Amino acid sequence: MKKTVIPLKRLIPGLIIGPASWLGPYIVMNSLFLPALIQHLNAANKVNLVALFSTCGMIVAAISNMIAGALSDRTKSRFGKRAPWILGGATVFMLSMILASFATNIPYLLIAWMIGQSALNFIVAPMVAWLDLAPKDGRGTASSAYGGLGMALGNNGFTVIGALFLSQYRLGFILFGIFTLIGTLIAVLIVHEPSSTEDVKHQEKKGSTFSFKEITQIFPKWAIGRDYYLALIGKLFQGVGNFAITGYILYIMTDFLHRGSNTQSSIQLINTIMLIFGILMGFVAGPISDKFKILKFPVAFSTIFLALGAITLFLLRNNVGIIVYAFSAGIGMGVWNSLDNLLNLEVIPDPNRVAFFLGVYNLGNTVTQAIAPVIAALVISWFGFSAIFIVSFIFSLVGGISMLCIKSVKR
């Protein structure tokens, strides 16, 4: 059976608009509107409640991500495998955020937020699988569009607008929920997936149907999935190395570097430099990967830039150290975000379950954001702030070494 391919002129705009449309609103609501509403409803317990929402959200995200990926891999639709789930998830996410905006108590808000978290992952898992539709010689460019540009815009491009609605956070829930639906709809229309009915018929002829054996063997054994597991391990270690610093950047500036009144400007400088280099790498990393047929090496070596940035900030502890860290982390994360999904796509153990395995891999973002602060907090309490940079250095390098151990991707 001939593999479905979508031209880059359609795929790239969709891979930029799509992730920006769900990630941007989510970042704004999670970091601004949700804490504001929780504070309004129960100010005395706001810190513990934010932690509760975060923990419950991570659990719901992990479960729904795998389910969404598995279901979209099996979907028979004239609109394609991914589009029905993406639009369905966006619709439910919008409705749940509208419901959240009317919350008058914490249990109501928690239920609405968890429904939204589940729905969000029915966008995320199928959408990242669009990368598998890119032409063979354009996969790096497609991966850069998704991770380097779309995700960068989502992470950094919406917070400024969201801050304008901080005093009207209930309205913010509604508007950004609607934006998610509109943005994902535009992305789906641009990509315009072909029908998946023939794909499913082909799988059925091969006997690719659900069975008890398959359910009990969701993940393949090490001998089969070795390279996939190495990529997943690499992502987890790299993620901890990155978030160990970014999650405590405020306290690093105040308690370790003693920036005082310059704390805010220092953090803004770091974020600005990282955003610029993240977007720049999004433009160049993918095309360079396609042109020179290299993938494993730039992904693995990107962790060296993270490690270098961490150790420089530890050694210099001044403006030069801050700038070097921002440049190094910006380049490292820019290259990583642009290409790591593509590397994972190349080592997926079952080509019929692309969305499932990419979805599990992308859980590395959620899991590491939850794990890294815990590890960092323990290290800080035992050894002080200095040790956090050593942890970041070691974890980043281990992540890169894990990637280099992948055998099926030569370079």
Per-residue pLDDT of the chain (411 residues), as tens digits, is: 567 888 999 999 999 999 999 988 998 888 788 988 998 999 888 878 887 887 888 888 888 988 988 888 888 888 888 999 999 999 999 999 999 999 999 999 999 999 999 999 999 989 988 988 889 888 888 888 888 888 878 876 777 688 788 789 899 999 999 999 999 999 999 999 888 787 555 554 544 444 444 444 577 888 888 999 999 999 999 988 988 887 777 778 888 888 888 887 888 888 788 888 888 888 888 888 888 889 999 999 999 999 999 999 999 988 899 999 999 998 998 898 888 888 988 898 888 888 888 878 877 777 787 777 778 878 888 888 888 899 999 999 999 999 999 998 888
According to CATH, where is 1.20.1250.20 located in the chain? 8-214, 220-404
Model confidence, pTM: 0.79
CA 273 to chain centre: 20
> What is the 3-state secondary structure of the chain?
CCCCCCCHHHHHHHHHHHHHHHHHHHHHHHHHHHHHHHHHHCHHHHHHHHHHHHHHHHHHHHHHHHHHHHHHHCCCCCCCCCHHHHHHHHHHHHHHHHHHHCCCCHHHHHHHHHHHHHHHHHHHHHHHHHHHHCCHHHHHHHHHHHHHHHHHHHHHCCHHHHHCCHHHHHHHHHHHHHHHHHHHHHHHHHHCCCCCHHHHHHHHHCCCCCCHHHHHCCCCCHHHHHHHHHHHHHHHHHHHHHHHHHCCHHHHHHHHCCCHHHHHHHHHHHHHHHHHHHHHHHHHHHHHHHHHCCCHHHHHHHHHHHHHHHHHHHHHCCHHHHHHHHHHHHHHHHHHHHHHHHHHHHCCCCHHHHHHHHHHHHHHHHHHHHHHHHHHHHHHHHHCCHHHHHHHHHHHHHHHHHHHCCCCCCC
Q: Taking the CA atoms of 224, 140, 133 and 62 in sequence, report the sign of the dihedral they define.
A: positive
Model pLDDT for residues 347-376, shown as the tens digit of each residue: 988 888 888 888 788 777 777 877 777 788
- 19's CB contacts (< 8 A; 6+ apart) are 127, 146, 150, 151, 154
Model pLDDT for residues 247-258, shown as the tens digit of each residue: 777 778 888 888
Position 258 scores a pLDDT of: 87
CATH of domain 8-214: 1.20.1250.20
User: What CATH architecture does domain 220-404 belong to?
Assistant: Up-down Bundle (1.20)
Q: Answer for the pair 68, 85: CB distance below 8 angstroms, yes or no.
A: yes
Angle at 219 between CA 238 and CA 127, to 5 degrees: 65
